[in-house]
Amino acid sequence: MKYILTYIFLILGFLGFSQETKKSSYIDVNYFKGNIALHNDDILHLIAGHPEGVILSWNKKTFGENDWEQRYNYPDYGISFAYQNLKNDVLGNNYSLYAHYNWYFFKRKLMFRIGQGLAFTSNPYDKFKNHKNIAFGSKFMSSTYAMINYKKERIFDKFGFQAGLSLLHYSNANVKAPNTSVNSVTINLGVTYSLDDEDPEFIRTLTKEKFKQPLKYNLVFRSGINESDVVGSGQFPFYIFSFYADKRINHKSAFQLGTDVFFSNFLKELIYYNSVAFPENNVDGDEDYKRIGVFAGHELFINKMSLLTQLGYYIYYPYDFEGRTYFRVGLKRYFGKKWFGALTLKSHGAKAEAVEFGIGIRI
């Protein structure tokens, strides 16, 4: 259910972009090969070769019919499918589907792509059949990929060329243990093919104007399920209540300051487990599983979508779990002027704690 909700959220985000009357699109096919990054010593036994695969993408261009397109230098958006052979029978092969955006720099010769979606792995962890795969605890996972390419379209008729670096990340965000995740750093080579005879001209009607907006207040409720790193300890729901103020300084950016209250039931189970299994750690078992944090953040507005980044610190922290600093990154989708949905990842450094589904109001 969590994965279905994730993709519904991404599709709703795309609906906010699909309003252009000028139409132009292209496909690209990219072959990639590289290495699995050793971000955790526990996965050393899983690095056996040089992963390779293919990314196939459809891209819809924008030409400035909406002001946000001009502000962001006419980005593309689209859908990607990726196949990756991880060169290890324990890990198997991964198949992924993403929603992505392309951003352009240096006279549109440099393209940066970011994609978020779902992945299916052919050989996840199994206590009896595949106990060595501590990277993927479930068949379905969230996945992110980033690509930075030199790009040149229409070199020969409708065909073009692109090449650069790609990063592919797979993780179920501790929805189910184990979950050490895998990051692949690769080199990619690709071919583009334009689906239209020619592209429309870019619209340039944007004028410089001062943007003013009063201080806004946000109330958010987030929830989901997750599990501790103890395999088989069980999945538990969590609940997060957030309040923060934000100040929008221009069309693109707002800064935030607020607080979170966490009710993490997996932590209650982990506290009990450690009190019984490891008495030498001086865990009584009656420590409070709740936490309170304060955070500062930034919101990048892109049409009806926005990118959220937050850095927090626990001020109420009765049980030591992964340190007092936490991060949150994700997407918001506005429905009207006040209400929004949110899909975010909370982590402690590179260690994910949970994927959060949220609903909130900004007043």
Kindly report the CATH class assigned to 216-362.
Answer: mainly beta
User: Among candidates 32, 79, 76, which has minimal Cα distance to 57?
Assistant: 79
The C-alpha atoms of residue 167 and residue 7 are separated, in whole angstroms, by 21
What integer pLDDT is reported at residue 20 of this predicted model? 54
User: Among candidates 224, 222, 232, which has minimal Cα distance to 270?
Assistant: 232
Whether residue 217 contacts residue 243, with contact meaning beta carbons closer than 8 Å, is answered with yes
10, 55, 218 from 62: Cα distances, Å: 19, 22, 31
What integer pLDDT is reported at residue 19 of this predicted model? 55
User: Among candidates 61, 90, 53, which has minimal Cα distance to 167?
Assistant: 53
Cβ neighbours of 205 (radius 10 Å): 8
One pLDDT digit (tens) per residue for the chain, 363 residues: 445 555 455 555 555 555 556 679 999 999 999 999 988 888 888 988 999 999 999 999 999 999 999 999 999 999 999 999 999 999 999 999 999 999 999 999 999 999 999 999 999 999 999 999 999 999 999 999 999 999 999 999 999 999 999 999 999 989 999 999 999 999 999 999 999 999 999 999 998 888 889 999 999 999 999 999 999 999 999 999 999 999 999 999 999 999 999 999 999 999 999 999 998 988 999 999 999 999 999 999 999 999 999 999 999 999 999 999 999 999 999 999 999 999 999 999 888 999 999 999 999
What integer pLDDT is reported at residue 18 of this predicted model? 52
3-state secondary structure 162-230: EEEEEEEEEECCCCCCCCCCEEEEEEEEEEEEECCCCCCCCCCCCCCCCCCCCCEEEEEEEEEEECCCC
- Domain ranges in the chain? 22-194, 216-362
The C-alpha atoms of residue 357 and residue 225 are separated, in whole angstroms, by 10
Q: Given this chain, do its domains 22-194 and 216-362 carry the same CATH topology?
A: yes
Whether residue 325 contacts residue 312, with contact meaning beta carbons closer than 8 Å, is answered with yes
Helix, strand, coil percentages in the chain from 3-state DSSP, rounded to 5? 10, 55, 35
What integer pLDDT is reported at residue 23 of this predicted model? 79
The C-alpha atoms of residue 149 and residue 174 are separated, in whole angstroms, by 32
pTM: 0.89
CATH number for 22-194 (one of 3.40.50.300, 3.40.50.2300, 1.10.10.10, 2.40.160.20): it is 2.40.160.20
User: Among candidates 45, 60, 227, 7, which has minimal Cα distance to 134?
Assistant: 45
Letter for the amino acid at 144? Answer: T
Q: 8-34: buried (b, 16+ CB within 10 Å) or exposed (e) per residue?
A: ebbeebbeebeebeeebebebebebbb
What integer pLDDT is reported at residue 239 of this predicted model? 98
